[in-house]
Amino acid sequence: MSDEQVDVVFFGILQAGKDKETVMQNMAKLFKTDANKLAPYFAGGRKVIKGKINAEAAKKYITALENVGLVVKLEACETAETAAESESSPAPEAPTIDTGDISVAPVGVDVIENPVQVPAQKIDDISHISMADVGANVIENPIAVTAQAIDDISGISMADVGADVIENPIAKPVQEIEALPGVTLAEAGADIIENPKPVKKADIPDTSGLSLED
C-alpha cells in the first residue's frame, strides 16, 4: 500500500440536483458539528476538508462526502514551496472539522437526511390478469375484413407452354415488296466490295544465302 499523503479538497460544488441547505445539514450530521460553521466551505475556492492522509483513509472520506452530496477530489499534499506561497497570500481560513471518529455507512444505506418524498402510486387489483400465449393475437377488436367472393373457376385451364394467350391480337398488315428481278445473291465468301483498295504486299528479302546450323 502506498504511503503517499493526499488532501481531500472541496471547491463548493454540489452534485447535480442537490439542495445546498440539505447538504449542509447532512454534512453537519456526518461531522457532528453545527451547520452554520460549515458555511465557509460552500463559499467557493479550494478548501481542505482532511489533509495529509493516506489513500486508504482518503477513500473513506470520498465515499462519505459524496453520499451527502458533495463533489470532492484528492490532491497531492502541499510541498514546502507551495506552502510558502500560500502563506504569502493566505486564503480565508475555513473552520476546523473534527473528523476523528468518522466512519463509512454500509453499502446501500440512504444517508440523505431529508430525501424528497415520492408518494406511492395506487395499483388496482390485477389478480385477474393473465398473460396470453406466445404468438396469440392480443388485439381485442380487430378490424373485420370482408371475404371477397370468388366465381366458379372449375372450367379454367392452363394454356400450353408458348401458346399465344392474347385473345384478339392487333392485326399488322403485311408489307408489300416490289419485284426484284435484277437482284442476285453473291456466293458464300465472295468479296462484295465493288472497287476494293489495292493492298500493298510486303517486300520479302532474299533468304537464299541462309542455312540452318547442324
**pLDDT at residue 135, rounded to an integer:** 76
Domain boundaries, the chain: 6-88
Q: Which CATH architecture has domain 6-88?
A: 2-Layer Sandwich (3.30)
**pLDDT at residue 1, rounded to an integer:** 47
For the stretch 153-168, pLDDT in tens is 777 787 888 787 777 7
Q: Which of 63, 76, 71 is nearest to 6 (CA)?
A: 76
Residues lower than pLDDT 70 in the chain: 1-2, 78-118, 204-214
* pTM of this structure: 0.38
**pLDDT at residue 80, rounded to an integer:** 47
